Structure 1
């Protein structure tokens, strides 16, 4: 028997809740000799939960399966299947690498970002850059690159999701993660703008500082933008 709390489940299935759902599994297992024990899983992605539940049900020794999300709402197997089918057509497992380059003598900047995501069972990579004027520092260029990548998420119709942002700027990553304060008014303005855009999309950001080598794709895109080379590409990954 799988229990259901209708109120919260309906809001999630209708797209009003968090689209990046992790679910805990609880089930009662009965051995051949009649011994019974209760199992609990860690929170797992919805698609993985569906696969595991369908697998253990085939043993014939499992009963009282309860599926619970982070909001303590319980799911039926039917609701879970519907949810997994719906989110399969939306971008998911999204990671963004971003970088900004700045030339002090010309006050020009190059912005670059790479978006990795999955959709309809396939993996993709998007690479884009932009040349901009009017910024005053390399840190501001880094913020502008991050902001531009979030505008890309809007184009992809990403919402109610967790997105991993990776960059080699300690300043931007630490300030956006809340570890460091943003004293400069220009940087604080960018941070506020980014927070508001993410909030509007109901995106939960996960910020990670990486080395320049790990961020070389985005760095190359930013340099190419400064050199007048525009990149705008999308590729399916094998």
Structure 2
């Protein structure tokens, strides 16, 4: 989670100049705020998150401690596969996140019966990822979603329309879940070669190999 500082800098003639920092990590923001206050030249110092919520320094210190205990810096990879003969879909999800000073990876997949298209499988994979985030307690955070399904991601961004009723129903479910979790999603279309891990999980689901693992990676 990134933060931006805003403050008034006091000149020698007692005029005040509005100043603002770049987006930086919570700990760096606190360090910068402490140095600004110690210098005696800054007033009206506030910290802003990416959603526009503001805190003073004392509140910011408490917030960062709480954030360190919860999952944050979340990146989600998703993919869906479809078997035309069986009308089954395999969905795969890989989630990277930090908790405390450690980084984790979750790998998960699921087999879904009676799907109609590969596109629908992609939507189901995205929704499956949101359910995992909900179980992790991920709320009120920016999250990056990466996949090779350009249509889905562009539709979620509002850039492309969706004309298929079934897919629109999935879009509604996805958007409702994002709203309920109060996430700030960032969508990134990636080449299929960069989505191999989620693709493999989707294929394994179609093969009957169920996976759900959480691994410490740092």
Deviates more, 1:79-88 or 1:22-31: 22-31
Q: Which residue of 16, 26, 50 maps to 2:7?
A: 26
State whether residues 47 and 57 of structure 2, in contact with CA within 8 Å, keep that contact through their aligned partners in structure 1: no
Unaligned runs of 5+ in 1: 1-19
Q: Report the Cα offset of residue 44 of structure 1.
A: 3.7
2:43 matched to which residue of 1?
Answer: 64
2:100 matched to which residue of 1?
Answer: 120
Asked if residue 152 in structure 1 is aligned to residue 100 in structure 2, the reply is: no
2:88 matched to which residue of 1?
Answer: 108
Provide the rounded CA distance (Å) in 1 between the counterparts of 2:33 and 2:77. 35
Provide the rounded CA distance (Å) in 2 between the counterparts of 1:93 and 1:65. 28
Provide the rounded CA distance (Å) in 2 between the counterparts of 1:73 and 1:184. 37
Asked if residue 76 in structure 1 is aligned to residue 46 in structure 2, the reply is: no
Q: Secondary structure at the match of 1:213?
A: helix
Once superposed, what is the RMSD of the aligned Cα atoms? 2.4
Provide the rounded CA distance (Å) in 1 between the counterparts of 2:204 and 2:103. 25
- Which protein is richer in helix relative to its size? 2
Provide the rounded CA distance (Å) in 1 between the counterparts of 2:216 and 2:52. 37
Matches within 5 A, 1:40-189: 40-57=20-37, 60=39, 62-64=41-43, 66-69=45-48, 75-189=55-169
Deviates more, 1:193-202 or 1:135-144: 193-202
Q: Report the Cα offset of residue 40 of structure 1.
A: 2.7
1:17 matched to which residue of 2?
Answer: none
User: How many residues matched?
Assistant: 216
Matches within 5 A, 1:198-209: 198-209=178-189
State whether residues 100 and 141 of structure 1, in contact with CA within 8 Å, keep that contact through their aligned partners in structure 2: yes
Q: Report the Cα offset of residue 75 of structure 1.
A: 3.0
State whether residues 26 and 67 of structure 1, in contact with CA within 8 Å, keep that contact through their aligned partners in structure 2: yes
Shift in CA distance, 87/132, structure 1 to aligned 2, threshold 3 Å: same
1:233 matched to which residue of 2?
Answer: 213
Q: Report the Cα offset of residue 234 of structure 1.
A: 0.7
Deviates more, 1:168-177 or 1:131-140: 168-177
Q: TM-score, normalised by structure 2?
A: 0.89
Q: Report the Cα offset of residue 207 of structure 1.
A: 1.1
Deviates more, 1:46-55 or 1:228-237: 46-55
Q: Secondary structure at the match of 1:53?
A: helix
State whether residues 23 and 46 of structure 1, in contact with CA within 8 Å, keep that contact through their aligned partners in structure 2: no
Q: Report the Cα offset of residue 54 of structure 1.
A: 2.6
Provide the rounded CA distance (Å) in 1 between the counterparts of 2:59 and 2:152. 40
Unaligned runs of 5+ in 2: none
